Amino acid sequence: MNSIDFVSSAIISTHSNPKLVSFSKPKTKSYSLNYSFHLPKLRVSAIKDQNPKPKIPNAEDDVTKHPLDENGGGGFDLGWLPAFPHVLVASMSNFTFGYHIGVMNGPIVSIARELGFEGNSFIEGLVVSIFIAGAFIGSLSTGSLVDELGCRLTFQIDAIPLILGAIISANAHSLDEILWGRFLVGLGIGVNAVLVPIYISEVAPTKYRGALGSLCQIGTCLGIIASLSLGIPSETDPHWWRTMLYIASVPGFIVGLGMQFAVDSPRWLCKSGRINDAKKVVRELWGASEVDGAIEEFQSVSKNDGSDLDSRWSEILDQPHSRGCIKVVLAITLKRHSQFAGINGVLYFSSLTFQNVGVQSSALASLFVGLTNFAGALCALYLIDREGRQKLIIGSYLGMAISMFLVVYAVIFPLDEQLSNNLSILGTIMYIFSFAIGAGPVTGIIIPELSSTRTRGKIMGFSFSTHWVCNFVVGLFFLELVEKFGVAPVYASFGSVSLLAAAFSRYFLVETKGRSLEEIERSLNPKA
């Protein structure tokens, strides 16, 4: 599951009535299935250059090998290793993200009781959803921060609201304090959601950009698993939530300190005129043989885009970024699909499905879901540079669609109760795994790849802010739709959206495997 997607799931659960739906045999029309699918490829590659520049490797060409492939027939290819520590530090931000997503899953009841708003579902939902309001603002501001300050310093500044928000939340003795703490955390998370994919895409060697980019999703999964594991004692200790929130400040300190020893993006360094620093970073992370060619590419694209650091929001639609509008539509559509394919609804109903077969602990059920997501993210890390982004995201959405229709079948057809429950669990696990192997991680990787160097921060910020809005809308109306139409129709709509997303990705997405960011930019912009 996507890191962001647990947020609306948490919102949903705060308003939920466990008796609202069930995966046993329907007595009335109270079954609906809720999930969406990404449309297959946006064939941005269809924007063919009439006067092509240097030939860009075809997506089907064997231009890359996975980091664990044998190199030259002997030993392992460790070309990814120099960049790994820097990417790992950045991925700690995603660990923080995942931790804060899962940290409210169980303790919200204890928090409501201790702070005096127990039984008020609106206030409980507000405590969770204020996180999204902060994330929306943080996402929109990231592009300007990255343009002016670079990724490294932005990471360090962003650690401040993450640390303060966690401490304020942990020490809260009133509703206002917990709301302010959650808002600050959301602000920091919104910045990180945009910043981490940008940073990894710009420092990772082309050959390993997909695999290293998958660490975003893995970091988020580990954060969710950590928070859910630590949340188990909250079922018996009403004050344990404070300890959990104090712990949430630790990753912020690690990122702030770790970035002091990490490199900045060589592309940003070159754009800011620090050519020698850019050469040093390329030599350290990509190898001495890559320095001259990389710097030449950076300068060529920078010269075409403009030499000043700060881009304007209007530039994502203006020349020389002639494909800007298409890139924005692509980014928004990909993010929207990941929400309307129903990931949040499935996450919510997964706990009910497990309860039907005897798993009564919601924390254990959520933990099982988190482990499934983690397994899918590991598979994505292995496959993304082997099979390419397009195949992975199309296969992911097709798997999600099949999973949704399997659950619908289990709900509406007259089957043995045990068989129906087993099919529901199988469909739920397949769905989460399918999402984690493609739709979740690939979206975060391919959007920065399809964005130009100059407007990457703005496009990423805009796409993620759109994502947060969709996230909130899904969380707000999901239960009402289930109550009105039933589980089966809602889940069937998720499966249908997933099929549309697979088709969209098939016809509009360009394959980016094995291409440098500059090569991709030239292919999408004939004037580059």
Q: Which tokens in the block code for residue 262?
A: 């990490």
Architecture per CATH, domain 316-527, reads as Up-down Bundle (1.20)
Q: In the CATH hierarchy, which top-level class contains the domain 81-263? A: mainly alpha
Q: Which tokens in the block code for residue 505?
A: 């990705």
**Contact at 8 Å (CB) between 194 and 67?**
no
C-alpha gyration radius of the chain: 23
Say if residue 380's pLDDT is above 90: yes
Q: Which amino acid is at 149?
A: L
Q: Do 81-263 and 316-527 fold alike per CATH?
A: yes
The pLDDT of residue 37 is 35
Residue 175: how many CB atoms within 10 A of its CB? 17
More confident residue, 504 or 109: 504
User: For the chain, what are the domain ranges?
Assistant: 81-263, 316-527
**Contact at 8 Å (CB) between 351 and 363?**
no
- Cβ neighbors of 61 (< 8 A, separation 6 or more) are 514
The pLDDT of residue 469 is 84
* Cα 48 to Cα 43: distance, rounded to the nearest angstrom: 10
- Tell me the CA end-to-end span of the chain in Å, nearest whole number: 36
The number of C-alpha atoms within 13 Å of 145 and in the hemisphere containing its C-beta is: 24
pLDDT tens for each residue of 115-169: 988 878 788 878 877 888 899 999 999 988 998 999 999 999 999 999 999 999 9
The pLDDT of residue 198 is 94
Omega cis (within 30) before 40: no
Of the listed ranges 354-363, 434-443, 448-457, the least confidently predicted one is 354-363
Say if residue 289's pLDDT is above 70: yes
With both helix axes pointing from N to C terminus, report the angle between 456-485 and 343-356 in degrees, rounded to the nearest 10: 50
* Cα 235 to Cα 356: distance, rounded to the nearest angstrom: 20
pLDDT tens for each residue of 205-240: 999 999 999 999 899 889 988 988 888 787 788 889
Candidate ranges 39-53, 100-114, 307-321, 391-405; pick with highest mean pLDDT:
391-405
**Contact at 8 Å (CB) between 43 and 509?**
yes
The pLDDT of residue 470 is 80
